[in-house]
Amino acid sequence: MKFNVKTVLQRSPRLGELSQIAGKLDVCLETPLALLHTQAGHIPHITHEVLKLVTQEPHFLQIPVVSMHNYLEAIHLYDGRVADFVGSKDSLTCVTLNDPSNLMKQGHHNKDKVPIFTKRGKVLYDSENYMDMVEKLRPDMYIILSDGDTNMTSSNKRVSKAVENTVSFNQRCIERHKKSEKLKDAFVIAPIAGGYCVKSRKQCLELLSPNEPDVQGYLIDGLHNNGPEVELISFSEVKPIVDYVISKLPPGKLRAIQGCWSPLNIIKLVNSGIDIFDTSYCRILTERSAALTFAIDAGEASESYEINLRHGKFSEDFQPVLKECKCVACQGYSRAYIHHLLTVQELLGSVLIMVHNIHHMLRFFQKIRDSVREDKLNELEDRVAAQIKLLHCHKEQLASSELSRNSTE
C-alpha cells in the first residue's frame, strides 16, 4: 500500500490517497479519511449487511486488539485475514491496540509491557505477543505498539516512561516486521508519544527517526485516554503539540490521530495537516441517543447541531431525523418512531441512530475533502462552529429555565 500526497504544504489541509493495495489494486481511497470504528470487527449496533445499506464505497475497518483478544484461541486456529475472520472480506482493515471509544484505565504499567482491559480482565502485551497477534490478523494497515497512557495531567515521570516504552516497542516491532512474510504488504504507522511536553515529543521523534524508512505514517498518540471525554477537549490545548509534531514529520508520510473528536475539532485537525481519523464519535453519540443534524452544505436546513431522540418533544414529531438526508433511517422512519423504540428499549432504535450517524459522518468527510480541494475549509468550519454555538446557547437556556422552575417550587 502506498500513500501519496497531492499537496505539499507542511502545516495545512491536504489531500492524499492510499493506493496500490495488495489484493485490491483497483481501490484508491482519498484522504482526509475516517476509519470505521469497530469492536471485534463489527460497527457497534449494526451488522455488515446493514453497513452495505449505509455505504457501498471502499472503506477501512478499525480493529482494536483489546476487542479481539477474547477470540485469541480462534484467531490462532484460523488461517486467513482478519477481514475474512470478522465476515467482511471486502473491507480493508487497520489494527490498533485500544478502543478509542472506551475510557482507558490509567496506570497498571509493567516494564516493557502495556496493559489492555478485556472482559476477562487485565492482559499485558509486549512487542512479541503484539506482533504475534498482528501477524495472525494480517491487516492491510496496523499501528505499532505504544505506551499512550498520558494526558494533560500526566507527570513528567509518566511522560518520560511513555516515550521510553514507545521507542523500545517501535524498534522491536520494526525488527519483527522486517522478518515477517505475512506482513510484507502491510502499511505501518508509528506512534509518537510525549504527552503535552514539547521536549518529550522532540525526544521521541529523534529516537524514532532511524526507523523512518520502514514506516509509512505516524500517529500522534498520548493526547488523551480515549472515551467520551475526548469530545470535550479544547483544540487550543492540543494545537501546540499537533503543530509541533507535524512540523517535524516528513511531508510525504501519512499523519493519523485517534479518538472521539467532535466534527469541529476534526476540521481544525485537518487544517493542521492530519490525514486519518476514526468514527468512534458516532458510537458515543448513539449511546446517548443523539443524532447528528448539523448542516454540511451551505444553504442546507438544520434546526440544531444534534438532537437527542429520547426527549419527549419527539414523541409526536413525524419528520425524518434530518430533512433531505438520504440514509436508510431518514428515508423510512420518523423521529417519533425512533423515540418510541428508545422508550421501549427496542434494539432497532440504536441501530437506526447509528445508521444515520455513520452516514452523516461519511458525508461530512466527503465535504471536508471537497472543501480542501476548493479551498473552502474555513467556510465549513465557520458553518459548523455557528451551529455548535447555537446548541450551547440552547442548553444554557434550558438549564436556566430548569433552575428558575426549581427555585419557584
260 is in an annotated binding site: no
**Biggest alpha carbon distance in the chain?**
73
Q: Which amino acid is at 191?
A: P
Where does residue 270 rank: exposed (0-12), middle (13-18), buried (19+ CB within 10 A)? Answer: buried
Which triple of cell numbers denotes residue 222?
498520548
- Annotated ligand binding at 330? The verdict is yes
Task: Name, in order, each residue with C-beta under 8 angstroms of 178's C-beta and a sequence gap of 6 or more.
Answer: 214
Q: What's the distance, CA 61 to chain centroid?
A: 10
**DSSP string across 263-283:** HHHHHHHHHHT--EEESHHHH
At residue 236, φ and ψ (nearest 5 deg) are -60, -25
- Rounded CA-CA distance 178/171 in Å is 11
The closest of 263, 235, 283, 218 to 371, measured between CA atoms, is 263
**Closest-CA residue to 352 (of 366, 364, 340):** 340
Residue 33: its H or E element:
strand 33-37
Q: By C-alpha distance, which of 204, 211, 199 is closest to 165?
A: 204
User: Do residues 211 and 171 lie in contact, with contact meaning Cβ atoms separated by under 8 Å?
Assistant: yes
Annotated binding site for Zn(2+), which residues? 325, 327, 330, 356
Annotated binding site, which residues? 325, 327, 330, 356
